[in-house]
Amino acid sequence: MTSRHWVERAGVRLSYQVAGERGDPTLVLLAGYGRSGSSWLPWLGRVGPLPYRVVLVDHRGTGESGRPRRPYTLATLADDAAVVIRDGAGDAPAVVVGESMGGMVAQHLALRHPRRVAGLVLSASAARGDVSPAFLRSLPLTAAATISNDVRVWTMCDRLLVHDGDRAHGLLAPLRQIQRTEPYSRFNSLLQALAMSFHRTDRRLGAVRVPVEVIVGAEDRMLAPRNSRVLAARLPQARLTVLADTGHAIAYERPMEIVDAVKRLGL
């Protein structure tokens, strides 16, 4: 079970959920493109009880967070996350797990708010916004899958995210159910895509001085594994793990790999 909390930053009401008791370190989960913090709930259900206080962040424009109409950057989302961490975890730094776009936000968070971050797990992410053709093709599919009951639309989108296309619908069904029950903003999806297109951290990652676990699926068709290799090469304390027979949605396809990555940080 999780409890819902809110905090305000610069006139935007930010929502987050908390699971577990206050602990050290706190584990902060940042979701990927178009997703709220609730997209992590199936992962929490599959990995079982964790010895951490877990904070699930709703990026602005998703879930229960406010929906401002002005464009923003991923640095804006990082500043939002820093306020959530302070509100949900206190003064102690947190271990931050970012999936895909959430991993991009996590990089900005570590650069802009280093005292808030004890370690990073970057899952299927990138240091630049040079997304793959498969990702660009998926944008209209992602929007359609969120608002459509057409199984054919779901199937096309889901098959891009996991390695084994025959298992895609079953693996991602919990995520799609969550997305069906939450309000969806096409406009915010556009704002997030625009923010990702301007994402550039590759030349600044040398300033990140915390341990980092970079994990990627060898068969990722959304953000190719070369992106994670760049991350691991540019981050001074990074270790790269390439998962065989795995696609983009590691939290759904290989959930325990994220737990193992957190443990490898040694915090």
Alpha carbon distances (Å) from 44 to 2, 10, 27, 47, 187: 10, 31, 12, 5, 29
What confidence score (pLDDT) does residue 122 get? 98
Give pLDDT, residue 231.
98
CA angle, corner 185, sides to 136 and 190, nearest 5? 35
pLDDT of residue 266: 93
pLDDT at 149 over 60: no
Q: pLDDT at residue 43 above 90?
A: yes
Asked whether the predicted pLDDT for residue 152 surpasses 70, the reply is: no
Contacts for 42 with CB less than 8 Å, ≥ 6 apart: 174, 175, 178, 251, 252
Residue 133, preceding bond cis, omega within 30 degrees?
A: no
Domain ranges of the chain: 3-264
Q: Tens digits of per-residue pLDDT, 220-260?
A: 988 889 999 999 999 999 999 999 999 999 999 999 999 99
Cα separation, 182 vs 57, whole angstroms = 15
Split at pLDDT 50, 70, 90, the class of 141 is: low
Mode of pairing for the β-strands spanning 212-217 and 238-243: parallel
Categorize the per-residue pLDDT at 154 as very low, low, confident or very high, splitting at 50, 70 and 90: low
Q: What one-letter code names the amino acid at 183?
A: P
The phi and psi torsions of 128 (rounded to 5 degrees) equal -140, 160
Domain 3-264 class? alpha beta
Predicted pLDDT of residue 25: 87
How many other CB atoms are found less than 10 A from the CB of residue 201? 23
Amino acid at 215: I
